[in-house]
Structure 1
Amino acid sequence: MLHRQSLATAAAGILLTAGIGATIPAGATATPTRTSAPPAMAQVVNVRWGGHPTFDRLVIDVRGTMPPVSVTPVKVLRYDGSGQKVPLAGKYFLEIRLSPAAAHNESGQSVYKGPRLVKVHLPALKGVALTGDFEGVVTVGAAFHVKPFYKTFVLHSPERFVLDVAHPALLCRG
């Protein structure tokens, strides 16, 4: 008798599930959707920095999947689009390019909450600027008084690009 009850309960569960499933429209999904899906293109949302005992760190926060990043020494920093010189004091500059990426959403509204142009008072890093958000390329400039010796890497959860620059005093110790 107990076996028949178990079978009847299982059959009722199957029929109930099938009945509920039949009421879901064909185009609907059974799984809940995320309220904030990751963006189609990586979004640069912040740039921040900090001093450490032997190096300065510049961090670029990204929403979505980290795009390819290049770091290039340049003689002068220029704003994308206009070509105007970026007013950061320094003798050496690095241009950091993230592509494909944007600092705005699909509606054209800025998602970038970091500084646009700021003087920094650290041993190596002297200034940071958002120099471009144009045609799928975001560029960030960094200024230094002495030639920067640096390493780069990516960290995950959340996504961020890291640039570590050795302090100038350490370069003289050999």
Structure 2
Amino acid sequence: MRGFALAIAAVLAAMTVVPASAGAAAACAPVDWGSGLKTVFNGGGGTVTDIRSGQHECFDRLVIDTHQADGSYYVTYTDEVTHVGSGKPVPLRGGAKLLVVAYSPSYDENFDPTYQPANPAEVVDVTGYQTFRQVAWAGSWEGTTDLGLGVRARLPFRVLTLTDRIVVDVAHQW
């Protein structure tokens, strides 16, 4: 009888174990950020001094350092990202394209650069990211800095302003 009780206990224990990956996916859902245009304009200003990225459990993150307390931005999915000034297409990998505009130039009042990507086609290395496929430079002109963000698919995203930076998070799933 004791062996039968142990067998039943083992079966019940096995049925209640949830794989770690299932728990992580459940913790990320539901994402209610949406995929529509997100924009805030507080008058612009500051200057872009760095662009970086990071991976999180539920999303990939792009950070634009602007040195403006309450950054202004315009972020939307688009069929094509184009270079400011010329209008030439910015090639992007991925199933969807986000246009990311910071209302902060990457040059100072003397038009000296405050930020220049070493490789405009690969502003930051997003190799191995779950959602991001490419971050490309689209230019800085007339008080803005524009980027193309290639993502795996049209996924929900949010935009935050933190002290001196604009943050774009794109979810790994709906």
The alignment's TM-score, normalised by the length of structure 1, stands at: 0.66
Match of 2:108 among 89, 105, 109: 105
Match of 1:137 among 129, 144, 163: 144
C-alpha displacement at 1:92, in angstroms?
0.7
1:91 and 2:108 correspond: no
Q: Does the 8 Å contact 2:71/2:166 carry over to 1?
A: no
Q: Does the 8 Å contact 1:78/1:131 carry over to 2?
A: yes
Aligned length: 127
Q: Which runs of 5+ in 2 are unaligned?
A: 1-43
Structure showing greater radius of gyration is 1
Q: Does the 8 Å contact 1:78/1:84 carry over to 2?
A: yes
Partner of 2:81: 77
C-alpha displacement at 1:114, in angstroms?
4.2
Counterpart code for 2:126: V
Q: Distance in 1 between matches of 2:80 and 2:94?
A: 9
Q: Which runs of 5+ in 1 are unaligned?
A: 1-39
Q: Does the 8 Å contact 1:60/1:160 carry over to 2?
A: yes
Partner of 1:153: 160
Q: Distance in 2 between matches of 1:72 and 1:80?
A: 16
Counterpart code for 1:145: R
Moved runs in structure 1, 4+ residues, more than 4 A? none
Counterpart code for 2:56: H
Counterpart code for 1:48: R
1:68 and 2:72 correspond: yes
Match of 2:170 among 137, 145, 165: 165
C-alpha displacement at 1:103, in angstroms?
0.5
Corresponding residue SS for 2:48: strand
Name the structure, 1 or 2, with higher relative contact order (CA <8 Å, separation 6+).
Answer: 2
Partner of 1:56: 60
Partner of 1:30: none
Residues 58-67 or 144-153, more deviating: 58-67
Cα deviation, 1:39-94, whole Å, max 9, x if unaligned, reads x9310111110111121111110123444211111111111111111122122111
Partner of 1:16: none
The alignment's TM-score, normalised by the length of structure 2, stands at: 0.66
Question: Which protein is richer in strand relative to its size?
Answer: 1
Identity across matched positions, percent: 29
Name the Cα RMSD after superposition: 1.9
